[in-house]
Amino acid sequence: MNSQPSILKKKTILTPSQILVLGFLFIILTGAYFLSLPIATSGEKPIAFIDALFTATSATCVTGLIVLDTGRDFSLFGQWVILILFQIGGLGIMTFSTMFAFLLGKKITLRQRLIIQESLNQFSIGGLVRLAKHILLFTFFLEGLGTILLYLNWHNLESNHSPFFLSLFHAVSAFCNAGFSLFSDSLEQYTFHFSINIIFIILIISGGIGFLVLIEILEYPRRRRLSLHSKLVIVMTAILLVLGTIGILFLENNNAKTIQTYSPKDKILSAAFQSTTARTAGFNTIPIGKMGNATLLFIIILMFIGASPTSTGGGIKTTTFSVAFFWMYFTLQGRRHLDLFQRRISEAVVNKALVILMLAAGWVTIITLLLSYFEDFDFIKIFFEVISAFGTVGLSTGITSSLSSISKMLIILTMFVGRLGPLTLALSLITNPRAKLIQYPEEQVIVG
């Protein structure tokens, strides 16, 4: 009879968080490989691998920060690679893989459902496959509609790119909140073009508000109700859009380098567009590098908050900011519970929001400190760049291409952390979480 070994080796099983991290890494590295090929560039020589890696990360993390001109320095092949990367990044890797499972007629396993739950930040696995189907339908419908509407505006445009590809690229980029543009000046040449501004605003908001909210809005005529999550997202999105427009309008009104000479209608349009895109999309109709420091700091706040959960955008998310803000407000009032819209938010959700806020603030502080050490740019520009990367926004004051290799790597890491979320990344590093079985006596600590 064989003796049993005294020590049993445990089979290592990756957690959903770890699978998500590895999945994003695989897509980024694959994209970087294709972008580093000679066929991906418009010149005779391939680009440096650090630039290919930066571009692939920016696309997969739907950020939009660039070190090369997308429309000029990349070939049609390279531009298609970038488009595919931010389409995958915007939808989410698991949603994209679920689509192929549908097409192949395969069933979604329990483990796959758990990974989808993690990627979409859901509380349960119930209805996840149905949600994934709705996400795919919403995405392709809105991107297709956006492509048609942009094509109607650009079908006679004189450009090196075909009008259809130009329209498709920008529609997908806008809905995925990626911020990539085939125009060297982003959308500055369309500052006063009302229809193009409105098309981009609708696509950006649709992609950034979250798929759960879109589904509930669509079903509202039948169900006649919205969840607390959707109510909070809709209200906070509206407040941030209005406050952002007013703030940019007020702070830039006397800036001769930006909107001072615009007509009142064009001032409102440009401020509204920049307010919309500032929280996650990355397009600009106002030259960001010419804005005043107060405006840049104001946009930094918008970028840090970002879009909403289960969306194509980044940032700490509107709900995280809302929960943390109202928790602080109610605490100052002496209230022990957080009640919104006649519903009580659990202590676990409040704690999660505070952890995300602290992890995000800690990360951007460390990266800003390091970039300030390695680079000789104004502090506000460095801080702006870091927050833009973390919020997966893509707005820049123009310093991205001038960063050193080590600073580019730091920005790459920041885009990666910002897209996955600092909490997801932190959980992926915990290989063996253990429940605490001992409860110690409670004692007071003086704070404040």
**442 occurs within a structural domain:** no
**448 occurs within a structural domain:** no
Name the pLDDT band for 387 (thresholds 50, 70, 90).
very high
Between 380 and 440, the higher pLDDT residue? 380
**443 occurs within a structural domain:** no
**110 occurs within a structural domain:** yes
Name the pLDDT band for 100 (thresholds 50, 70, 90).
very low
Residue 434 is predicted with a pLDDT of 61
Interval 353-377 mean pLDDT: 94
**6 occurs within a structural domain:** no
Contacts of 291 (CB under 8 A, 6+ apart): 252, 255, 257, 258, 299
The Cα–Cα gap between 220 and 215 comes to 9
**447 occurs within a structural domain:** no
Q: How many domains does the chain have?
A: 1
Rg of the Cα trace of the chain? 23
Contacts of 387 (CB under 8 A, 6+ apart): 300, 303, 304, 364, 393
User: Encoding tokens for residue 268?
Assistant: 């409102």
Residue 107 pLDDT exceeds 70:
no
pLDDT by residue (tens digit) across 147-194?
A: 999 999 999 988 888 999 999 999 999 999 999 999 999 999 999 999
**8 occurs within a structural domain:** no
Q: Is 41 helix (H, G, I), strand (E, B) or coil?
A: strand
Residue 19 pLDDT exceeds 90:
no
- Dihedral of the alpha carbons of 37, 40, 46, 47, in degrees to the nearest 10: -110
Name the pLDDT band for 1 (thresholds 50, 70, 90).
very low
Residue 46 is predicted with a pLDDT of 87
Residue 128 pLDDT exceeds 70:
no
Name the pLDDT band for 349 (thresholds 50, 70, 90).
confident
Name the pLDDT band for 380 (thresholds 50, 70, 90).
very high
Residue 84 pLDDT exceeds 60:
yes
The average confidence (pLDDT) of the chain is: 85
Phi/psi of residue 120, nearest 5 degrees: -95, 0
Residue % of the chain over a pLDDT of 90? 58
Closest CA relative to residue 199, chosen from 237, 248, 145: 145
- For residue 125, the enclosing domain spans 16-424
Contacts of 229 (CB under 8 A, 6+ apart): 212, 213, 309, 319
**156 occurs within a structural domain:** yes
